[in-house]
Amino acid sequence: MATGALVRVPASAQAAAAPARAVLLLLHGLAEDGGAGIARFDLARGQFLEHLRLLQGAQARGEITVMELDAWWRGDACRGRPVVLCFDDGGRSDVETALPLLQEFGMRASFFINSAYVGRAGYLDWSGIQALQRAGMGIESHGHEHCALPLLPRRELESQLRRARHMLQDGAGTRVRYLAAPYGLWNRRVLETALSIGYAAVCTSQPGLTEAGALRICRNALLTHTSARQLQGWLRCRPGSYAPRICLDRLLWTPKNILLYAPGGWRRVAPPPPKV
């Protein structure tokens, strides 16, 4: 064969060589079944249990592998499509409700914590964070306070991100490599600042699939109204399964940014989300 000649690679070999993009699932608090007034971003315990059973079945069939965030991002081998579970805000339900269920199903997740709220009513304390870390869960940063990061001046942005990373590393005794932008609000300056401080990537709330090693990571929020059928469509990447969320996100992106910078719009530093 002449040097430089093209070799046709079978489609099956191409598929095997190309690692599957991951589905990252974003959760917030977990509420007890039958509780009154469950927030839109929270799940009832029974609903989360249903999702875990669905993930367990897909994993047993070799369709997916539920992985811890850093293991997936570094490119660890897995069967099927990688799936990563993420919890934002650091509420007490992370250790009281989510951890026992994750251990029951033999699954790992990553928990993004606002370091300023550690120990406050309704939030994790350091003993709870350490319990998550000892159980093999990832401990990551949600910033120091629950700030709209794009609004912060450069020095304050650096201070918020650096302080959160150092406090969580010292308190949990583990390396913190990933930042989840509060409210999903980020821009290039936030990304570049996070990378310069030592974060490997920034997690957003934008829906879609993400390749390992990406600097900006999409995550798909599991909401109160997210059904098992919808989750199954995400896992199997059925045609149109992501389209409604992606279209809505793009439709709202410009109004959100107008509100962000409008006088009296988004607060620069917001109070912690209610977790009590």
Look at the chain and count its residues: 276
Identify the CATH number of the domain in which residue 108 sits: 3.20.20.370
How much is the pLDDT for 170? 97
- Judge whether 4 lies within some domain: no
With a pLDDT cut of 70, the percent of the chain lying above it is 83
Q: Which of 139, 141, 142 is nearest to 108 (CA)?
A: 139
How much is the pLDDT for 15? 37
**Residue 251 belongs to what domain range?**
20-30+37-261
- Judge whether 98 lies within some domain: yes
Tokens of 61: 């069939």
pLDDT value at 63 more than 80: yes
- The reported pTM is 0.87
Do residues 114 and 176 lie in contact, with contact meaning Cβ atoms separated by under 8 Å?
no
Query: How does residue 7 score in pLDDT terms, banded at 50, 70 and 90?
Result: very low
For the ranges 121-125, 196-200, 238-242, 269-273, which has the lowest average pLDDT?
A: 269-273
Phi/psi at 76 (5° precision): -60, 145
With a pLDDT cut of 90, the percent of the chain lying above it is 72
- Judge whether 55 lies within some domain: yes
pLDDT value at 34 more than 70: no
Give the residue ranges of DSSP H helices in the chain.
Answer: 11-17, 45-60, 69-73, 93, 99-105, 126-134, 154-172, 188-197, 228-236, 243-261
pLDDT value at 145 more than 70: yes
Q: Which residue has the higher pLDDT, 85 or 3?
A: 85
How much is the pLDDT for 231? 94
pLDDT value at 128 more than 80: yes
- How many domains, the chain? 1
- Judge whether 25 lies within some domain: yes
Query: How does residue 238 score in pLDDT terms, banded at 50, 70 and 90?
Result: confident
Residues 73-123 pLDDT 10s? 999 999 999 999 999 999 999 999 999 999 999 999 999 999 999 999 999
pLDDT value at 10 more than 60: no
- Judge whether 114 lies within some domain: yes
- Judge whether 7 lies within some domain: no
pLDDT value at 11 more than 60: no
Q: Which of 72, 91, 98 is nearest to 177 (CA)?
A: 72
- Judge whether 9 lies within some domain: no
- Judge whether 273 lies within some domain: no
Residues 205-222 pLDDT 10s? 999 999 999 999 999 999
How much is the pLDDT for 20? 85
How much is the pLDDT for 35? 57
Q: Which amino acid makes up residue 112?
A: F
